[in-house]
Amino acid sequence: MNASQKMILLFKNGKTHWKIRVPVDAGDIEKFACEEICKYIHKITGTTLSYADENENDLIIYIGLRKDTRFINDLPAPAEGFDGYSILVSNRIIAILGENPRGVLYGVYDFLEKLGCRWYHPNLDPLDPELIHQKQNLDLPEGAWSEAAKIKDRIYWVSGFAFEIIPERLIPQIDWAAKNRFNCLSWQCVFDRIESDLELMNDKGIFEAMEKRGLNLHGPGHAFPYFLPASKYFKDHPEWYGYRDGNRQSRDTVFPAVTFCLSNPEACEQFMKNVEMFVKKYPQIKRLDILPADGAVACECEKCRESGSSDLIIALFNKLIARIERINPEITVDVVPGYGLLEKTPVKITPNDKLIGVYAHWGRNHKTSYNDADYERRSNLLVWKSCFREFWICSYYAANSHQPFFGPPFIHALKYDTEFYLEQGVSGAFVLEFPFGLWWNNAFNVRMGGIYPYYHPKRDPVSEIRDYAVHYFGEKAASLIAEFFLMLGDNRNLDKCYRASRGEADEGDMKFLKELSGMLKRCLQIASDDAVYSYRVQKLNACFDFLIFFAPSRREIMEIAKTAEEGVKDESGKRELNDKIASAQKTIEEILQKSAELEKQYPGVMDAEWMKSWMIHRTYISPLDKVEKSIGE
C-alpha cells in the first residue's frame, strides 16, 4: 500500500453497512465461496454479513463470475493464465469475480488473506487453531487487481488419501488444498480396496467436499493388478500374466510384482475393457491415473523383452485413451514416465497427443532443481518432456521415505523447479506427501507447491518463509524463526538435514544442528507470553530436538556392521561387539519410544509407525540381525 491510497472502511466497532450478494443462479462453487467469506468475516469481526437483494446497489460485496457481470465498472483486465480472478475494492462496491467457478473461490481466499487470514497448516490440531486475527475495525486500500495461475494443473497427493482413506484427516486437507490454490487431489489406492475406498469417499462426504471447491480427483494410482486380477483370470488365461523365473506369475500380492504380459493382445484388451467399466461406474474420477504395482518388474517373455516396457505401456495407453474419450471426453488419462517400468524413453512408440506424461523422479536430493545444469536426470526429463503435448512433473517435496523427515524448506528446488516449469511449458505441478502423520512438518513445502505455481513470481519461497514466521509464530519470535528456516533450507546446509534424517550426521552436522537448536530455545523464551504462539514454537522445538537425538544414531550401526564385515577374531572381540549391539538396541528402543511420545504430544510432526516400519526395521534392526547371525555362526 502507498501513502496516497484511500482506505475503504468495511467494519467499525464490529458493525458494517456492507452486504453481500451472489447471483440467484450461481453454481455450487460460487455459493460455497460466498459462505467462506461470510464465515471468516464472522470469525474476524464477530459480525454476520447480511445478504443484499437484487435491487440493492450500495455497499455491496459481490461474489460471482466475470462473464455474468455487466454493471460493475473499473474492473482490471483478466490476468493471463488459468483459474483466474479479479478483485475490485471501491467505496461503493467490492467485487470478487472469477474467470471460472474455482477462480471465484481463489479470489475469496486472496481477499481474506488481505484481511489477515492465513492457512499454513491443515486445521487438524485442536491446540493450533486457524490463523484468524480478530478485529472490530476492518479496512482495505482502494484498488483493483487480477491473478491467474501460471501452471494449469496443481496437484496435491494428499496423505489422507494415501493407501488408506482417513476421512477425519482428509477433509481438513481438502479444505487446506483449495486455500493453497491446488485444483486437483491425487488418490493412491491399495488395489484390492479400490471399490470400498470409493464407497467410503462417497459415504463420508469426501466427494462433496471436493466438488464444492472445484477440485478434481486423480487416481487410483498403482492399480494394474485391480484391472487384470490373477485371482479372476489366471486359471483360464495363464498366458496373460508376467513370465519370470521360468513361470507365469499367478499372484497379485507378491513383491516385487510382475506386470501382466503387455505383449499379449488379449490381456491388454481385457485390461482396457475393465478400465472402461470402472470409468463408467465411477464418474467422480476426472483424472485417470493407472500405474503398475509399485516396485513392479517387467514380464520377461521373449516378446516383452524385445519390445521393452516403455514402448509396450505407451502403446497400451494410446489405445486406452481413445476408448476413454468415447465414454467421457472430459476425463484425462496420464502415464508416469521416469519411474519404474517407464524410466527409459520409448524407442518406437510415440504417445497420443491427449495422453499426459507425469514425470516422477523418486529420490532426488532437493539441493538440485530441475533447472540446474548438473541435475543428474535432466536429459532423461527433457527427452520425456518432448514426447508429450501435456506434461506434469511429480516432485517429492514431502515424501519422507527419502527426504528429511524434519521438513526443511527446499528453497532452491521450489524456486528453480517452478522456473523450469514455465520455461519448458510444463502444464502440471504435482506435489507428493507421505507418510500420513507428518502433515505439519511438510506443510510449507506442500503449500508452496500450490501457491508458487499459481502466483509466480510474486510469492517466492523466501518471502513466504518470512510471512510464515511473522503470522504463525508471532512478531516477537519472527526474525529468529525466519533465520532458522532460511539457514536450514539453505543449499549449503541441506545435506546436513539429509544426513541427520538418515541417522548419519557427523560432528560438523551436529554442531550446525545444535547452533540452530539454540535459536529455537531463545524463541521459546520470546514467545512464552502467548499460549498459541508458544505452543507452535514448542512443537517446532520438540521435533527438532528429536532430529538432534536421532541424527548420529545410525553411525553406531554402521560401525558395528563394518567391524563384523572385517571379522571378529577372538571371544574378547565377540563380547565387545555384543556390547555394542546391546547399546545400539537400547538406542533403537529410545528412538521408538521418543517417536511415539512425539506423535502423541504434537499432532503432525511424527509418524511413529512409519519410523518403526520404514526407518528402524529397514536400516537399523535388519543390519543388526544380520551381524548377530554372522557372529553366532
521-542 per-position pLDDT tens digit? 999 999 999 999 999 999 999 9
- For residues 413-422, give the mean pLDDT: 97
Of the pLDDT bands very low, low, confident and very high (cuts 50, 70, 90), residue 1 is low
**Residue 514 scores a pLDDT above 70:** yes
The answer to whether residues 577 and 627 touch, using CB atoms and an 8 Å cutoff, is yes
Report the alpha-carbon distance of residue 486 to residue 462 in Å, rounded: 7
End-to-end CA distance of the chain: 75
- For residues 335-362, give the mean pLDDT: 95
- For residues 481-505, give the mean pLDDT: 97
What is the pLDDT at residue 3? 60
- For residues 480-498, give the mean pLDDT: 97
Cα 498 to chain centroid, rounded: 19
Condensed to tens digits (0 to 9), the pLDDT of residues 118-167 reads 999 999 999 999 999 899 999 999 999 999 999 999 999 998 888 889 99
Mean pLDDT score across all residues of the chain: 94
The answer to whether residues 269 and 248 touch, using CB atoms and an 8 Å cutoff, is no
**Residue 424 scores a pLDDT above 60:** yes
Q: Which residue has the higher pLDDT, 293 or 4?
A: 293
What is the pLDDT at residue 266? 98
What are the Cα distances from residue 101, in Å, to 68, 82, 546, 591?
12, 11, 44, 48
Question: Mind giving me the DSSP string for 503-550?
Answer: T---HHHHHHHHHHHHHHHHHHHHTTTSHHHHHHHHHHHHHHHHHHHH
Left, alpha or beta for 294 (phi > 0: left; psi -120 to 50: alpha)? beta
Q: Kindly report the CA angle at 617 between 611 and 618, in degrees rounded to 5?
A: 100
Q: Which residue has the higher pLDDT, 198 or 253?
A: 198
Residue 70, exposed/middle/buried by CB under 10 A (0-12, 13-18, 19+)? exposed
What are the Cα distances from residue 377, in Å, to 303, 346, 395?
29, 16, 13
**Residue 330 scores a pLDDT above 90:** yes
Condensed to tens digits (0 to 9), the pLDDT of residues 62-71 reads 999 998 887 7
Please tell me the least confidently modeled range out of 82-96, 235-249, 562-576: 562-576
What is the pLDDT at residue 574? 86
Contacts of 378 (CB under 8 A, 6+ apart): 370, 372
Report the alpha-carbon distance of residue 439 to residue 433 in Å, rounded: 8
Share of the chain above pLDDT 70, in %: 99
Question: Mind giving me the DSSP string for 432-489?
Answer: EEESGGGTTTTHHHHHHHHHHHHHTTSS-HHHHHHHHHHHHH-HHHHHHHHHHHHHHH
The answer to whether residues 598 and 546 touch, using CB atoms and an 8 Å cutoff, is yes
What is the pLDDT at residue 633? 64
If residue 157 lies in a helix (H) or strand (E), which one and from where to where? strand 153-162
Q: Which residue has the higher pLDDT, 330 or 255?
A: 330
What are the Cα distances from residue 508, in Å, to 116, 493, 504, 505, 512?
41, 11, 11, 8, 6
Share of the chain above pLDDT 90, in %: 88
Beta strands in 43-109 (DSSP E): 50-51, 60-65, 82-89, 93-98
Of the pLDDT bands very low, low, confident and very high (cuts 50, 70, 90), residue 251 is confident
Left, alpha or beta for 363 (phi > 0: left; psi -120 to 50: alpha)? left
Beta strands in 380-427 (DSSP E): 390-399
Condensed to tens digits (0 to 9), the pLDDT of residues 590-608 reads 999 999 999 999 999 999 9
What is the pLDDT at residue 533? 97
What is the pLDDT at residue 393? 98
Condensed to tens digits (0 to 9), the pLDDT of residues 607-617 reads 999 999 999 99
- For residues 476-502, give the mean pLDDT: 97
Please tell me the least confidently modeled range out of 378-392, 503-517, 561-575: 561-575
Bridge partners (DSSP) listed for residue 89: 94, 143
The answer to whether residues 356 and 392 touch, using CB atoms and an 8 Å cutoff, is yes
Cα 376 to chain centroid, rounded: 23
**Phi and psi at residue 364, to the nearest 5°:** -65, 135
Condensed to tens digits (0 to 9), the pLDDT of residues 198-215 reads 999 999 999 999 999 999
- For residues 441-462, give the mean pLDDT: 96
What is the pLDDT at residue 157? 94
Cα 157 to chain centroid, rounded: 5
At 330, list the grid cell: 472430459
Report the alpha-carbon distance of residue 618 to residue 402 in Å, rounded: 13
Helices 507-526 and 475-489 sit at what angle, rounded to 10 degrees?
A: 170
Of the pLDDT bands very low, low, confident and very high (cuts 50, 70, 90), residue 336 is very high
Please tell me the least confidently modeled range out of 92-96, 248-252, 478-482, 549-553: 248-252
Report the alpha-carbon distance of residue 283 to residue 286 in Å, rounded: 7
What is the pLDDT at residue 596? 97
Of the pLDDT bands very low, low, confident and very high (cuts 50, 70, 90), residue 2 is low
Report the alpha-carbon distance of residue 67 to residue 44 in Å, rounded: 31
Asked if omega into 283 is within 30° of 0 (cis), the reply is: no
**Residue 489 scores a pLDDT above 70:** yes
Of the pLDDT bands very low, low, confident and very high (cuts 50, 70, 90), residue 565 is confident
DSSP code of 297?
B
What is the pLDDT at residue 68? 83
What are the Cα distances from residue 16, in Å, to 36, 38, 61, 214?
18, 13, 12, 31
Cα Rg, the chain, nearest whole Å? 27
Condensed to tens digits (0 to 9), the pLDDT of residues 260-270 reads 999 999 999 99
Q: Kindly report the CA angle at 210 between 209 and 212, in degrees rounded to 5?
A: 70
184 three-class SS? strand
Report the alpha-carbon distance of residue 172 to residue 157 in Å, rounded: 14
